[in-house]
Amino acid sequence: MKVFLWSMVQRALPLGENLQRRGITSDVSCPHCKATETSIHTFFLCPFAQKVWEKIPLHHTVHIAADDTIETILSKFRNTICLPPSGVSSPIFPWTCWTIWTTRNKLIFENLSSSPEEIVAKSITLAREWSTAQAKEPKQNTTFPGQTTRQGQEPPRYRPLPPDTITCKTDASWDKTTRRAELAWICSGSEGNTIQQGTELQESVASPLVAEALAVRSAIIAATSKEIKNLRVLSDSSTLIRAITTNRQEKEIFGIVFDISNRSFLSFNLSLSIIYLGLKICKPIA
């Protein structure tokens, strides 16, 4: 599936337009509507594909703009989930594209056609099969503390978070030219109430990794003043989290990591998690 999605992005699928670009002048038209067969057309814009997407029980509709590319569409679909009765807990996007693709091939090479309803049913079945297979062997390294598996069991490797745990989201932006970093953090309680938040501007920052580390450090300094017992810090830098949690020495941030560990050791139980949400907590600093 990864290779298939990668091929979509790389324009490597043997679709009409891609074949023509490589000098193979076979029929370049869409087998459903006779428009030029591009990736975006086949998977999203073709009236046939649109009928398929209309019937997929998505939690929210994904709008495709005229200037969208396969990459931007992929990221728009990344977090789309299906509504509960479908029983699909993983993203449906890859399975739908895959079924549209195999259906297209069947139509061209075997003259067998499927209805949009059949494609939807097939996609949901495939996504369900995938989810079921994953549930048997939960990938523990991607399960965060406090998060449960599909069967509702806590993976044994992690302790549940204490109920008074404060969650602190951190993020940083870094400018290559000015070497300036903007750091931001927000600490909230279990009910989502904000306990502490702040932004900071740092000059002469060597890299984005240093910026992310400084954001965590600033958040921890701010949290120390709040008498927090259990703090969970989220960052989107896996290198940083690894450096803190495994004592793996990253030369670039060694001093900052040392400071983070020391300060949190003195003040609270610290747990760290990786979050890949692209937090937009940075308010522009004037």
C-beta of 47: minimal distance to Zn ion in Å? 6
Residues found in the chain: 286
C-beta of 241: minimal distance to Zn ion in Å? 45
Listed in order, strand segments (DSSP E) in the chain are: 166-175, 180-188, 194-202, 230-235, 269-274
List, as one string, the DSSP characters of 176-215: TTTTEEEEEEEEE-TTS-EEEEEEEEESS---HHHHHHHH
C-beta of 55: minimal distance to Zn ion in Å? 17
Q: Which is nearer to Zn ion, 35 or 282 (CB)?
A: 35
C-beta of 17: minimal distance to Zn ion in Å? 12
Q: Which is nearer to Zn ion, 41 or 169 (CB)?
A: 41
C-beta of 41: minimal distance to Zn ion in Å? 6
Which stretches of the chain bind Zn ion, using CB under 5 A? 30, 32-33, 35, 46
Q: Which is nearer to Zn ion, 45 or 184 (CB)?
A: 45
Residue with tokens 């900052």: 256
Q: Which is nearer to Zn ion, 5 or 35 (CB)?
A: 35
H-type helices in 137-281, by residue range? Answer: 208-224, 238-246, 254-267
Q: Which is nearer to Zn ion, 34 or 139 (CB)?
A: 34
The structure tokens listed for 66 are 């005229």
Q: What is the DSSP letter of 54?
A: H
SS3 263: helix
